[in-house]
Amino acid sequence: MRKHSRLIFFSLLAIGVLIALFAYLNRPRAIEVAIYTLSKGEVLSSVANTRAGTLKACRRARLSPSVGGQIERLPVTEGDRVKQGQLLLEIWNDDLDAQLKLARREAQAATSRAREACVIAEVARRDARRLRTLVKKNLASEEAIDKADSEASARQAACDAANTSIEVSQARIDVAAAALARTRLLAPFDGSVAEVNGELGEYLTPSPVGVATVPAIDLIDYTCLYVSAPIDEVDAPQIRTGMEANISLDAFAGTLFEGRIRRVAAYVLEREKQARTVEVEVDFQNPANAKKMLPGYSADVEVILKRRENVLRIPTEALMEDQHVFVLRGDNRIEKRRIKTGMHNWSYTQVLSGLEKGDRIVVSVERDGLEDGVRVKPE
């Protein structure tokens, strides 16, 4: 009987141990979460672009000659640094050059003819003056003086006409020089040659009016870069020139560059199937930051509307839609708590009440299974 009782006792004990072991092994596991400890810092109120912006050069010229022709000179290659006024490309222009030389020779001839006519006119004036002196001494007739005055006037008119022909010749020189200049591409500013579309001997055709074609020379000034970004029409009225902004580029991930609003467009862009936006341009506060950047990089801007310093803040991603956060208690369980918030942006949200400095909250609120009272494990 006693032996039977022991057997029952140990059997029940074994069953209890197995149940306890099973319960332990199948207990709810703690959810690993990211934790943030509340502290004070800066919170910004800001607006950002709705679509990716673009890094642009302050000066960029896509150059093409205004006349067609065969490329005769191409003294630059891609990557060359050029100075303002330097020759970039020249089309065959021997005929126009010859016309310019001819116009200059004609101008020289017109100048010589004018000098001759004016000398003759001066001689005629002197003759008329001498005859007037002789008339006073009764040594010449009135008829002779009239004839001399008429001759002097005619010679002076010829002199004036010759001088006018000089101006006409100079105008012909200007016309010929303008025609010749149309065959040459000169750098409008100091910059770097980004692209060359053409080779020696190739024929260039000017683009028709209203039809964009590939430029012969793409010249960029890399010393001045800025960001152009579209801002939603709802946010645009809050933005003014001179406001501070943060610039971020995909090519420099994790780095923020300080900027300042240089221009807010005076009109709204209306494009099919896209939200209406206002173009905003942002300069780098430190131009040296843009030295290694290339025009065309995608960029984002965050325009700072207001700034609060030394305020209690939480990461914005930790705040749920109903203004609740998960607070970590001392027993490693979380408590869902409602808070009151103030200013916010994509990074941080100001806490007005409901939390204190040093409280720990869950940042990774997207984890499955998070709810009030759940046990968690900080990552």
- What CATH class has 27-42+309-378? mainly beta
Residue 66: the pLDDT is 84
Q: For residues 277 and 232, is the Cβ–Cβ distance under 8 A? A: yes
Lowest mean pLDDT among 7-16, 269-278, 331-340, 356-365: 7-16
HSE at residue 285, side-chain half, CA atoms within 13 A, is 12
Q: For residues 238 and 47, is the Cβ–Cβ distance under 8 A? A: yes
CA distance 249 to 235: 21
Q: For residues 278 and 268, is the Cβ–Cβ distance under 8 A? A: yes
Alpha carbon 107 to its chain centroid, in Å, reads 48
Residue 178: the pLDDT is 93
Residue identified by tokens 């995909």 is 250
Cα-Cα-Cα-Cα torsion 332, 334, 335, 341, nearest 10 degrees, comes to 120
Domain range annotation of the chain: 27-42+309-378, 48-59+223-307, 93-182
Q: For residues 336 and 346, is the Cβ–Cβ distance under 8 A? A: no
Residue in 39, 78, 47, 362 with CA at minimum distance from that of residue 215: 78
CA distance 44 to 309: 9
Torsion over CA: 351, 354, 356, 359 (sign): negative
HSE at residue 226, side-chain half, CA atoms within 13 A, is 16
Lowest mean pLDDT among 8-12, 130-134, 168-172, 329-333: 8-12
* Residue 16 binned pLDDT confidence (cut-offs 50, 70, 90): low
Percentage of the chain modeled with pLDDT above 70: 89
Lowest mean pLDDT among 10-14, 84-88, 242-246: 10-14
Residue 92: the pLDDT is 94
Tens of pLDDT along 292-305?
A: 888 999 999 999 99
Residue 124: the pLDDT is 83
Supply 367's token pair: 């984890």
Residue type, 378: P
Q: For residues 206 and 65, is the Cβ–Cβ distance under 8 A? A: yes
CA distance 238 to 256: 22
Lowest mean pLDDT among 44-58, 133-147, 312-326, 347-361: 133-147
Residue in 84, 52, 281, 294 with CA at minimum distance from that of residue 195: 294
* Residue 20 binned pLDDT confidence (cut-offs 50, 70, 90): low
Residue 32: the pLDDT is 86
Q: Is the pLDDT of residue 25 over 50?
A: no
Residue 17: the pLDDT is 61
* Residue 189 binned pLDDT confidence (cut-offs 50, 70, 90): very high
* Residue 185 binned pLDDT confidence (cut-offs 50, 70, 90): very high
What average pLDDT does the chain have? Answer: 86
Tens of pLDDT along 221-280?
A: 988 999 999 999 998 999 999 999 999 999 998 899 999 999 999 999 887 667 889 999
Percentage of the chain modeled with pLDDT above 90: 47
- Look at the domain 48-59+223-307 and name its fold: Elongation Factor Tu (Ef-tu); domain 3 (2.40.30)
Q: For residues 355 and 325, is the Cβ–Cβ distance under 8 A? A: yes
CA distance 153 to 127: 12
CA distance 329 to 335: 7
